[in-house]
Structure 1
Amino acid sequence: MTVGEVSKNLPWVEKYRPSKLEELISHDDIIKTINQFMKENQLPHLLFYGPPGTGKTSTILACARQMYTPQQFNSMVLELNASDDRGIGIVRGQILSFASTRTIFKAGPKLIILDEADAMTNDAQNALRRMGGTQGAEVMAGQCIGLRPPVPLQLCDVAGNALQTNMLANYLYDSDIILFVYDLTNLESFDKLAIWIQRVKEIFEIETTKPLMALFGNKSDLEHQRAVRLSCVQKFASEHLLETFKGSARTGEMKYTENVRFCIICNYLGKIIPALQSRCTRFRFAPLQQSQIVPRLKEVAAAENVKLSEDGVKALLALSGGDMRKVLNTLQSTWLAYRDVTEDNVYTCVGHPLRSDITKIFNWLLTENDFAVCFQNIQDLKLAKGLALGDILTEVHTIIQRVKLPAEVLVSLLIKMSDAEARLASGCSERIELAALIAAFQIARDQVQIGDTETS
């Protein structure tokens, strides 16, 4: 197969993926900031999050192509899809091996791109945070050289997940001092201290010699981002008879920082552990505006000689939800299937209800007085067009909010529709839920008629 044939057979979403930052169609503020980082050679660890198809992967790949020459790219960039390689083994193996080796010629730090990182297990994320550190606890030995003579010192850094294991008592055995470390910028880390202190007190309850205990607030260099109030710290320390200290580990947060930068990409920020979030500069990628999508859509259509109608464009935009990848994939699928991208062809290609079909269903729900006739009409249309009741509910929900109904009637109807959708998601029968939907509309119509009668 020749290079031209490979390019021809590529999915359009890959064929027309931006290769330079200036080719990206949105998020100018994010691109400007990252450009400045690269210009000053101060690129931090990055965390991109937001809905799919908003340019997260394209942005970092364009950055990588700007940072490295084509000859350097394969040796300097490691791209992994964490939804496939999401276990702790990939962190300890492939990522650690790539991060710990240096290139012969200096070309700046390497770049590791972890796509779909919200699919990574918590153990893998903790291993990534430590980049090769011992799971459960990391033991380090040294000396307090500030004292004369120097005093031998052994530190045992217990990972946060050790609280749930039976090994914690072994880690803390014969300790002289226990420091409870929290993040000044993360209230959640402070709120968990009470559980830790209670657990440590239980461990040393039968011991005659108790260790000294103190609080340590990390990231004092980010005092302007403080989330834990000083008064709360003082009150907590007083209640538990603890000394309080603060400081910053900024210069030693991640191993291999001189040699590598991480770009973590995810859809759901909440699935990334706080320890990783705090080590990265975060950027949120919002859904694309229609005004941003249309020019690129028409550019691709022109390049591929696609016959694209105006109602076809509107259908693609309606289905996309701001997802550029979905727009291009649907465009290519419709063109290959029908050779004509119209509204009906787009909806038929993806199995989405046609607007004319939804209008029929909505009219039956609003005007048909005979329950059995309404049920049979909708059921016949569902079977003939292969429609799912869940899709019908979604489209009816969009239309009903444009209908002028009394507020209490609309609220009641929306609640019943949401209940029907929830029951469908849990596996209930579509026939039963269709009957419930028709009944909900009948009750709403009766409420409107009663209200009109009382008004007159």
Structure 2
Amino acid sequence: MAKASAPMEIDDASLPSSTTDKGKSLFASDPKSAPWVEKYRPQSLADVAAHRDIIDTIDRLTSENRLPHLLLYGPPGTGKTSTILAVARKLYGAQYKNMILELNASDDRGIDVVRQQIQNFASARSLSFGTKSTVKLVLLDEADAMTKDAQFALRRVIEKHTKSTRFALICNHVNKIIPALQSRCTRFRFAPLDSSNIRERLEHVIKAEGLDVDQGGLTSLVRLSNGDMRKALNILQSTHMSSQHINEEAVYLCTGNPMPKDIEQIAYWLLNESFKSAFNYISDVKMRKGLALVDIVREVTMFVFKIKMPPTIRVKLINDLADIEYRLSFACNDKLQLGSLISTFTNARCALVAAV
């Protein structure tokens, strides 16, 4: 069979013999039952919610057949994988599944995966299916979970097959990617999404699903997402499954997060009550509402920014709260850490009185 010519300026033709189903699913078997994260995943670069400067740059490179190896990094749920899949659809059209090798490096993180699956895919000859490009694409999600040996092996594969294959690495922590790989890729940082972008996308999903969501519920969804679109959609879907009317209370009950009014009350106790009273009050609220102390500490930390106090006292208080949250992440005793939380605010109260 004659070898197909590649439309990209610097590449020769090549074609995969097979792909893998590992990693994020490219197709939902039943769109009606699919998680909304997948159901409403952007299908084109124009649909990606934010980062228009990055998206426009990648779109132009794709249109001009000059797509480089890519390294997309940033927090979860900011559109990294959606962007690469949209690029694949633009390059290959309906046949994009045949032209992609998609791996999740948190599962396939060793050197054998690079030497076998990736090497075999990149070196296989490919046939033209009438796609816009015959250059294959390797999508490696959570690449920062790869071992150092696997990353060095991947560097050699990229050098050897750069004419026939493009590599897209996705990660949360770019500092865990070896410099040799970083230098071979064009890097783009995906920052947490702006609240307006998340609100706009949520409104689209709410309208499409015909949901009953009031403004308080929508604001709560945006607030709890912390710039993570995936988290926002998952909370929305989970809340819808437990309540037909989605309001602020329903969202917080579904997620188990303390409501803002509860945090205000807890902050009042911490700033005004005695150690014993504050300990009893907070313990009672935790028990009745099923709250986790780590969530309380995290929300109280954010509340501290709203309180008027000298900068030096605020910094000290926030650092102490961060230490408590860190200890709780290692499953330290809740009662001891609650006592530490109250003591921290007691010290801050004394510092505030002395500063007056």
**TM-score in same-fold range (> 0.5):** yes
Matches within 5 A, 1:388-407: 388-407=292-311
- Aligned counterpart in structure 2 of residue 130 of structure 1, from 119, 141, 156: 156
Uncovered stretches (5+) of structure 2, i.e. residues with no partner: 1-26
Q: Which amino acid aligns with 2:260?
A: R
Q: Which amino acid aligns with 1:429?
A: N
Please, what is the CA RMSD of the aligned residues? Answer: 1.8
Structure 2 partner of 1:233: none
Structure 1 partner of 2:323: 419
Task: Give the direction of change, closer, same or farther, for the CA distance of 1:438–1:44 in structure 2 (3 Å limit).
Answer: same
The CA distance in 2 between the partners of 1:68 and 1:257, in whole Å, is 18
Matches within 5 A, 1:13-162: 13-70=37-94, 72-105=95-128, 107-131=133-157
- Aligned counterpart in structure 2 of residue 6 of structure 1, from 30, 42, 46: 30
Q: How many residues align?
A: 327
8 Å contact kept, 1:307–1:339:
yes
Larger radius of gyration: 1
The CA distance in 2 between the partners of 1:278 and 1:450, in whole Å, is 54
8 Å contact kept, 1:102–1:259:
no
The CA distance in 1 between the partners of 2:111 and 2:37, in whole Å, is 31
Q: Give the deviation of 1:5 after TM superposition.
A: 8.5
Task: Give the direction of change, closer, same or farther, for the CA distance of 1:379–1:254 in structure 2 (3 Å limit).
Answer: same
Q: Which amino acid aligns with 2:98?
A: S
The CA distance in 2 between the partners of 1:284 and 1:348, in whole Å, is 34
The CA distance in 1 between the partners of 2:209 and 2:264, in whole Å, is 33
- What TM-score results when the alignment is normalised by the length of structure 1? 0.69
Identity of aligned residues (%): 51
The CA distance in 1 between the partners of 2:200 and 2:322, in whole Å, is 36
Structure 2 partner of 1:276: 181
8 Å contact kept, 1:316–1:331:
yes
8 Å contact kept, 2:122–2:164:
yes
- 2:301 is paired with a residue whose SS is helix
Moved more, 392-401 or 439-448: 439-448
8 Å contact kept, 2:104–2:141:
yes
Structure 1 partner of 2:268: 363
Matches within 5 A, 1:287-306: 287-306=192-211
Q: Which amino acid aligns with 2:56?
A: K
Deviations, residues 348-403 of structure 1 (Å, cap 9, x unaligned): 111111112111111111121x3212111111111111211111111111111211
- 1:353 is paired with a residue whose SS is coil
Task: Give the direction of change, closer, same or farther, for the CA distance of 1:91–1:372 in structure 2 (3 Å limit).
Answer: same
Q: Which has a greater percent of strand?
A: 1
The CA distance in 2 between the partners of 1:95 and 1:310, in whole Å, is 48
- 1:8 is paired with a residue whose SS is coil
- What TM-score results when the alignment is normalised by the length of structure 2? 0.88
Uncovered stretches (5+) of structure 1, i.e. residues with no partner: 132-252
